[in-house]
Copies of this chain bind each other. A is one copy, B any other.
């Protein structure tokens, strides 16, 4: 087990951002801008307190937050940094009570680090946990949805501080309306969603995932020559293929980036071809028409040398990579979890097979 941190300093942030690329499954957005914002913020405000739900009053209001939309757009349409404040103000106005803490909505890409900046600037603690344990592309793909906790009021803000609030009893409609707004706003925006008191959040929340992501980043940094073995020791890595990127096809539309990448095997995998298909996140890895791995397991393209994760918008021809898979959090492996984020939820007529039933770990 990872020991929980109680605050995030500058080195933690850098480690967190690396851990978030690994857990992202290709999505969540390039963390670079988020790290720079968070570093800038904590240099002014000091380290951000990281709290467990138990540290809060059960009635305290916690707001999960992050960027939503197409990661390809996030790299050039950047937040102004005060979105945490704007989101907080919108919830306080709507719900008539103070926000006690922010929480990352997902633990992947920019969305693991940007909430650190927002918390620092808003003067709020950050909860050590998230609602996915990885990244997923749609708003109903958050653990509270499995317990019928409403995504509403759902707050979307943009870099002009325009604020949109969506209230619906149907989380799928929440996704639909927010995605539609984000698309009109240029392809990405920032959001608060699933407002919960600490008592309610305790059931769905994946606890300790911020600390875990920091730990992953630290492990890789300190691993020396074999970061893959270190990663395996830390979180369990199932490598599918070592190879290089042969082709990549990306289309940004409707508030998502969709496409595929073909990886050609090298070294011991010479002669093999594996195709990754993605909607923000990598959904399936296919070889000869068969699925090697699928959501909800975390399929991440890892740099062949550093073991850092490569987000889908940065996949390039010729990159040397390892396709790595990590076990999905158990909540996603339940019947309702699979109905929400399993292969069929993304239109693939494929049964989910847990990665550990099909592949071996590094060791």
A residues near B, CB below 8 A?
90, 93-94, 160, 162-168, 170, 173, 176-177, 180-181, 183-185
Contacts and interface: CB of A to CB of B under 8 A. Distances in A.
Contacts of A166: 162-164
What's the number of copies of this chain in the assembled complex? Answer: 2
B184 A177 contact: yes
Contacts of A184: 176-177, 180
Contacts of A163: 165-168
Nearest to A165: B165
Contact of A93 (B94, B176, B185): B94
Contacts of A167: 90, 162-165
Nearest to A86: B167
A154 to B, nearest CB: 10
8 contacts: A90-B167, A94-B94, A162-B170, A163-B165, A164-B177, A165-B165, A177-B184, A177-B185
A61 to B, nearest CB: 16
Contact of A164 (B165, B170, B183): B165
A184 B174 CA distance: 12
A190 to B, nearest CB: 14
Contact of A168 (B94, B160, B165, B176): B160
B162 A164 contact: no
Nearest to A185: B177
Contacts of A177: 162, 164, 181, 184-185
A180 B177 CA distance: 9
A359 B184 CA distance: 43
Contacts of A181: 177, 180-181
